[in-house]
A and B are shown apart, each in its own frame.
Chain A
Amino acid sequence: MQNMIRTWFKSGLPWVWLNAAAVALCLVMVIAVLGLVVVRGVGHFWPSSVQEYSYIEDNGSIKSLIGEHVDSSVMTAAMAISSGHKMTKDEDALVQYLVKTGNRDLIGTDFRWILQRNIKTQQEPEDLMVIERREWGNFYGRLVSVKENGRVIATGEQAWPVAQEKLDKALLIFKEIVRLEKKEIGAVNYQLERLRLKQRKLEIDHQWNAEAEKDLASEKVVYDEQYKKYQVQLAELYQKVRQDSLIAKIDNGSELEVTFAKIVKIYQPNAMNFFQRIGYFFGKAHEFLTDDPRESNTEGGIFPAIFGTIMMVIMMSIIVTPFGVIAAVYLREYAKQGFITRLIRIAVNNLAGVPSIVYGVFGLGFFVYILGGNIDKLFFPEAAPAPVYGTPGLLWASITLALLTLPVVIVSTEEGLSRIPKSIREGSLALGATKFETLWQTVLPMASPAMMTGLILAVARAAGEVAPLMLVGVVKLAPTLPLDGNFPFLHLDRKFMHLGFHIYDVGFQSPNVEAARPLVYATSLLLVLVILGLNLSAIIIRNRLREKYRALEG
Chain B
Amino acid sequence: MENSSNQYYQQWRLIKDSMARYGVIAGGMGVIVAVVMIFFYLLYVVFPLFLPATAKPVGVYEMPEKSAGKTLLLDMEEQNEVAARFTDSGQVVFFDVATGKTIQQQAVAIPAGAKILSFSQGSPINEGAVVYGLSDGRAVVVKHQYDVSYPNNKRVITPSLMYPLGEKALVLDEGGKPIEQISAQISEQVSTIISKSATEIRVTSLEKEQSLFADEATLNRTDAQISVPSEGVADILVDKEGQNLYVASSNGRVAFYDISDKSSPVLKQAQNVLEKGQQITSVAFLNGDLSLMIGDSTGLVSQWTIVRESSGRSLMQKIRSFKVSDKAVVAIKGEQRRKGFLIVDAIGNIGIYHSTSEKKLINKHVSDNLLSVALAPRANALLMQSGDGKIHFWHVDNEHPEVSFKSLWQEVWYESYPKPDYIWQSSASNNDFEPKYSLIPLVFGTMKAAFYAMLVAMPLALMSAIYTAYFMAPSMRQVVKPAIEIMGALPTVILGFLAGLWLAPYIEEHLAGLFSFIIIVPLIVMLFSFAWQFMPRDIIEKYADGWDGALLIPVILIAGWFALSVSVPLEALFFNGSLREWFKNELGIGYDQRNALVVGIAMGFAVIPTIFSIAEDAIFSVPKHLTIGSLALGATPWQTMYKIVLLTASPGIFSAVMIGFGRAVGETMIVLMATGNTPVMDLSVFQGMRTLAANIAVEMPESEVDSSHYRILFLAALVLFAFTFVFNTLAEVIRQRLREKYSSL
A and B: bona fide binding partners: yes
Interface residues in chain A, defined as those with a beta carbon under 8 Å from any beta carbon in chain B = 5, 8, 11-30, 33, 36-37, 73, 75-79, 82, 92, 323, 326-327, 329-331, 333-335, 342-362, 364-366, 369, 403, 406, 410, 434-437, 439-440, 457, 460-461, 463-467, 470-471, 500-501, 503-504, 507-508, 513, 517, 520, 524, 527-528, 531-532, 535-536, 539
Contacts A11-B636, A434-B16, A504-B673 given; indicate if A329 touches B556 (C-beta within 8 A): no
**Whole-angstrom distance from the CB of A465 to the nearest CB of chain B?**
7
CB neighbours of B486 from chain A (8 A): 30, 532, 535-536
Q: Is the CB of B578 within 8 A of A79?
A: yes
Q: Is the CB of A361 within 8 A of B492?
A: no
Q: How far is the CA of A116 from the CA of B471 in the complex (A)?
A: 51
CB neighbours of A77 from chain B (8 A): 577
**Whole-angstrom distance from the CB of B727 to the nearest CB of chain A?**
7
Q: Is the CB of B697 within 8 A of A436?
A: no
Q: How far is the CA of A19 from the CA of B713 in the complex (A)?
A: 42
Contacts A25-B460, A531-B489, A539-B482 given; indicate if A357 touches B668 (C-beta within 8 A): yes
Q: Is the CB of A78 within 8 A of B494?
A: no
> 5 interchain pairs (CB within 8 A)?
A33-B495, A350-B728, A353-B663, A354-B724, A403-B34
Task: Count how many chain B residues have C-beta atoms less than 8 Å from C-beta atoms of the other chain.
Answer: 116
Q: How far is the CA of A358 from the CA of B530 in the complex (A)?
A: 50
**Whole-angstrom distance from the CB of A332 to the nearest CB of chain B?**
10
Partner of B24, one of A19, A37, A326: A326
Q: How far is the CA of A11 from the CA of B634 in the complex (A)?
A: 12
Which residue of B is nearest A356, CB measured? B668
**Whole-angstrom distance from the CB of A214 to the nearest CB of chain B?**
26
Question: Given contacts A14-B530, A347-B34, could you give 9 more A-B pairs where the C-beta distance is less than 8 Å?
Answer: A18-B463, A25-B460, A30-B483, A334-B25, A357-B717, A358-B717, A361-B717, A434-B14, A531-B490
Which residue of A is nearest B21, CB measured? A334
Q: Does B161 contact A (CB under 8 A)?
A: no
Contacts A29-B605, A358-B717 given; indicate if A24 touches B556 (C-beta within 8 A): yes
Q: Is the CB of A353 within 8 A of B20?
A: no
Over the window 234-269 of chain B, the binary record of Cβ atoms lying under 8 Å from chain A Cβ atoms (1 yes, 0 no) is: 000000000000000000000000000000000000
Which residue of A is nearest B727, CB measured? A353
Partner of B498, one of A36, A73, A79, A362: A36
Q: Is the CB of A504 within 8 A of B669?
A: yes
CB neighbours of A532 from chain B (8 A): 486, 489
**Whole-angstrom distance from the CB of B511 to the nearest CB of chain A?**
10
Q: How far is the CA of A465 from the CA of B28 in the complex (A)?
A: 25
Q: Does B31 contact A (CB under 8 A)?
A: yes
Partner of B721, one of A20, A79, A352, A358: A358
Q: Is the CB of A434 within 8 A of B548?
A: no
Q: Does B38 contact A (CB under 8 A)?
A: yes
CB neighbours of B673 from chain A (8 A): 504, 507-508
Which residue of B is nearest A513, CB measured? B501
Q: How far is the CA of A360 from the CA of B665 in the complex (A)?
A: 16
**Whole-angstrom distance from the CB of B285 to the nearest CB of chain A?**
36
Q: Does B732 contact A (CB under 8 A)?
A: yes
Contacts A27-B484, A353-B663, A357-B693 given; indicate if A504 touches B23 (C-beta within 8 A): no
Stretch in B271-279, B304-312, B352-360, B521-529 with 4+ CB within 8 Å of A? B521-529
CB neighbours of A33 from chain B (8 A): 490, 495, 498, 605
Instruction: Tell me the chain B residues, 76-102 only, with Cβ under 8 Å from chain A.
Output: none
**Whole-angstrom distance from the CB of B375 to the nearest CB of chain A?**
30
**Whole-angstrom distance from the CB of B521 to the nearest CB of chain A?**
8
Over the window 1-38 of chain B, the binary record of Cβ atoms lying under 8 Å from chain A Cβ atoms (1 yes, 0 no) is: 00000000000011011011101110111111011011
CB neighbours of B501 from chain A (8 A): 507, 513, 517, 520
**Whole-angstrom distance from the CB of B32 to the nearest CB of chain A?**
5
**Whole-angstrom distance from the CB of B498 to the nearest CB of chain A?**
7
CB neighbours of B37 from chain A (8 A): 366
Instruction: Tell me the chain B residues, 449-489 only, with Cβ under 8 Å from chain A.
Output: 459-461, 463-464, 466-468, 471-472, 480, 482-484, 486-487, 489
CB neighbours of A355 from chain B (8 A): 665-668, 693, 720-721, 724
CB neighbours of A24 from chain B (8 A): 549-550, 552-553, 555-556
Q: Does B160 contact A (CB under 8 A)?
A: no
Which residue of B is nearest A501, CB measured? B493
Instruction: Tell me the chain B residues, 633-673 only, with Cβ under 8 Å from chain A.
Output: 636-639, 641, 659, 662-663, 665-669, 672-673
Q: Is the CB of A79 within 8 A of B577?
A: yes
Q: Is the CB of A353 within 8 A of B728?
A: yes
Q: How far is the CA of A28 from the CA of B464 in the complex (A)?
A: 13
Over the window 329-347 of chain B, the binary record of Cβ atoms lying under 8 Å from chain A Cβ atoms (1 yes, 0 no) is: 0000000000000000000
Q: How far is the CA of A403 from the CA of B38 in the complex (A)?
A: 10
CB neighbours of B729 from chain A (8 A): 346, 349-350
Q: How far is the CA of A200 from the CA of B349 in the complex (A)?
A: 52
CB neighbours of A436 from chain B (8 A): 16-17, 19-21
Partner of A28, one of B468, B557, B725: B557
CB neighbours of A359 from chain B (8 A): 38
CB neighbours of A78 from chain B (8 A): 572, 576-578, 581
**Whole-angstrom distance from the CB of B393 to the nearest CB of chain A?**
30
Q: Does B72 contact A (CB under 8 A)?
A: no
Q: Is the CB of A354 within 8 A of B721?
A: yes
Contacts A22-B459, A361-B42, A366-B41 given; indicate if A331 touches B28 (C-beta within 8 A): yes
**Whole-angstrom distance from the CB of B598 to the nearest CB of chain A?**
14
Contacts A351-B35, A358-B720 given; indicate if A326 touches B41 (C-beta within 8 A): no
CB neighbours of A346 from chain B (8 A): 728-729, 732-733
Which residue of A is nearest B22, CB measured? A334
Q: How far is the CA of A36 from the CA of B605 in the complex (A)?
A: 15
Q: How far is the CA of A542 from the CA of B311 in the complex (A)?
A: 70
Which residue of B is nearest A8, CB measured? B530
Q: Does B232 contact A (CB under 8 A)?
A: no
Contacts A350-B729, A357-B717, A364-B700 given; indicate if A21 touches B636 (C-beta within 8 A): no
Q: Is the CB of A22 within 8 A of B35?
A: no
Q: How far is the CA of A501 from the CA of B491 in the complex (A)?
A: 11
Partner of B38, one of A354, A461, A524, A528: A354
Partner of A21, one of B25, B556, B717: B556
**Whole-angstrom distance from the CB of A69 to the nearest CB of chain B?**
18
**Whole-angstrom distance from the CB of A328 to the nearest CB of chain B?**
9
Q: How far is the CA of A501 from the CA of B494 in the complex (A)?
A: 10
CB neighbours of B482 from chain A (8 A): 539
Q: Does B705 contact A (CB under 8 A)?
A: yes
CB neighbours of A28 from chain B (8 A): 553, 556-557, 560
Q: Is the CB of A349 within 8 A of B668?
A: no
Partner of B13, one of A19, A364, A434: A434
CB neighbours of A342 from chain B (8 A): 736
CB neighbours of B721 from chain A (8 A): 354-355, 358
Q: Is the CB of B471 within 8 A of A20?
A: yes
CB neighbours of B75 from chain A (8 A): none
Q: How far is the CA of A439 from the CA of B13 in the complex (A)?
A: 13
Which residue of B is nearest A465, CB measured? B491
Q: How far is the CA of A37 from the CA of B493 in the complex (A)?
A: 13
- Nearest 10 interchain pairs by C-beta: A355-B666, A12-B638, A78-B577, A464-B491, A330-B28, A326-B27, A22-B463, A17-B529, A467-B668, A19-B467
**Whole-angstrom distance from the CB of B317 to the nearest CB of chain A?**
39
Q: How far is the CA of A348 from the CA of B735 in the complex (A)?
A: 14
CB neighbours of A354 from chain B (8 A): 38, 666, 720-721, 724-725, 728
Q: How far is the CA of A466 from the CA of B673 in the complex (A)?
A: 12
**Whole-angstrom distance from the CB of B204 to the nearest CB of chain A?**
47
Q: Is the CB of A23 within 8 A of B30?
A: no
